[in-house]
Amino acid sequence: MEEKRKHPRTEVEEHAYVSSGGSVMRCVVRNISQEGAAIDVENPAFVPQRFRLVMAKDSSIVHECRVAWIQKNRLGLTFVEQEP
């Protein structure tokens, strides 16, 4: 399969949080790039279409995300610009 991403993703296994509207859910980041990431969650049905991804190691690292795809418990994310 041909790689279509502009920026290659780095394989990782970092704990993070899906944060939206005051609720928080744990997840594991499986790969990440400048444009997006793939995360594993316990139940994708509870993940909103747009949310903040907060890294557990450094909570100052926050990405505004949009869900691009879902395959079982893995979600593909696109990082979006924060709205003013």
The pLDDT of residue 1 is: 47
Between CA 44 and CA 36 the distance in angstroms is 17
Under 8 Å CB-to-CB from 4, ≥6 apart: which residues? Answer: none
**According to CATH, what is the number of the domain 10-79?**
2.40.10.220
Residue 84 pLDDT: 53
Per-residue pLDDT tens digits of the chain, which is 84 residues long: 445 656 778 899 999 999 999 999 999 999 999 999 999 999 999 999 999 999 999 999 999 999 999 999 999 999 997 655
| pLDDT of 75 | 98
Where are the domains positioned within the chain? 10-79
pLDDT of residue 10: 86
